[in-house]
Structure 1
Amino acid sequence: MQFCYGDKNHIRILEEAGFWKRQEAEHTVVIRKIIPDLEERFVEKLDEYQKILGSTEAIILQYIERLNRSGCIITPELAQRIANIIEITLCQSQTFVNFLNAMAKESAVVANNFTASVVINHIIRESEYYMGIAKAYLDRIALR
């Protein structure tokens, strides 16, 4: 994400966060589809992540809709609330990446499925990309 949007950076990070929460939720489905014999404990956890990430995306979309209706006016209180939700999304992504790394190490099914390993590593890199964006945003607003 570029930080050239001035006062609109808050809206732009919400758009970015919503996109990546949707991606992560979809990634849980991709993993379950490409590894149909995945151990049940991992399937259950992926299902749980899908629900959590989808709920977070819905909350972010509510913020965006509210901002659109208000003419994109960002009060200091709203800016803080946006920073808080971005902090939550960052923690979610980190937890998701930690889970995927653990699953890749602990699952015999994943260890014996080259395609699954490649896809999981790709998904991890994408979540890490979002984490970099979220950290940059949080660092940038902390400097103000």
Structure 2
Amino acid sequence: MQFYYGSQMPLRVLDETEFWKQQEAEHTVVMRELVTNLEDKYVDALKRWEEELDASHQHVKRFVESVIRSHHHISPTLNQQVLDLVSFSLQESEAFIQFCRQVKSDSSAVSGNHTAKVVIDHIIDESEYFIGIAQTILYDQQ
């Protein structure tokens, strides 16, 4: 993400957050479809993660609409709500990464599937990329 957006920064960070929440939700599907013999407890957990990440994605989309409707005159309250949402999204991504690592280390179906391990590592890397963006935004605002 580029940091020369100036007054459009709240919209830009929301765009990034929206994109990565959608990616994470899609990654739950990738994991379920890639590892066809994945244990039920992980399949069920991935379905719950998909619902939660999709709900976050929808929540971010609503904030994008709010910022657009404000014509980029962001009130301090709306700006703080955006920062809170980014903070929540960051924490959610950290928890999702932890879950992905657990699946990779504890699932016997994944342990014998080199491709699944590589894909899960890639999924983790992408979520970590988002966390880096979110942390930069949050630290710049403090």
- 2-structure distance, mates of 1:56, 1:19: 11
How far residue 132 of structure 1 moved from its aligned partner, in angstroms, is 0.2
1:114 equivalent to 2:114? Answer yes
Q: Counterpart in 2 of 1:12?
A: 12
Q: Counterpart in 1 of 2:2?
A: 2
Counterpart amino acid of residue 105 in structure 1: S
- 1-structure distance, mates of 2:131, 2:67: 23
How far residue 66 of structure 1 moved from its aligned partner, in angstroms, is 1.7
- 2-structure distance, mates of 1:68, 1:109: 45
How far residue 70 of structure 1 moved from its aligned partner, in angstroms, is 2.2
TM-score normalised to the size of structure 2?
Answer: 0.98
Q: Counterpart in 1 of 2:61?
A: 61
Give per-residue Cα distances to partners, 1:4-34, cap 9 Å, x unaligned.
1111111100000000000000000000000
3-state SS in 2 of match to 1:3:
coil
Q: Counterpart in 1 of 2:43?
A: 43
Runs of 4+ in 1 over 4 A off after TM superposition: none
Q: Give identity over the alignment, percent.
A: 39
1:34 equivalent to 2:22? Answer no
Give per-residue Cα distances to partners, 1:101-138, cap 9 Å, x unaligned.
01111001100001100000000000000000000000
Counterpart amino acid of residue 20 in structure 1: W
How far residue 72 of structure 1 moved from its aligned partner, in angstroms, is 2.0
Q: Counterpart in 2 of 1:126?
A: 126
Q: Counterpart in 2 of 1:138?
A: 138
TM-score normalised to the size of structure 1?
Answer: 0.97
3-state SS in 2 of match to 1:10:
helix
3-state SS in 2 of match to 1:61:
helix
Unaligned 5+ segments in structure 1 are none
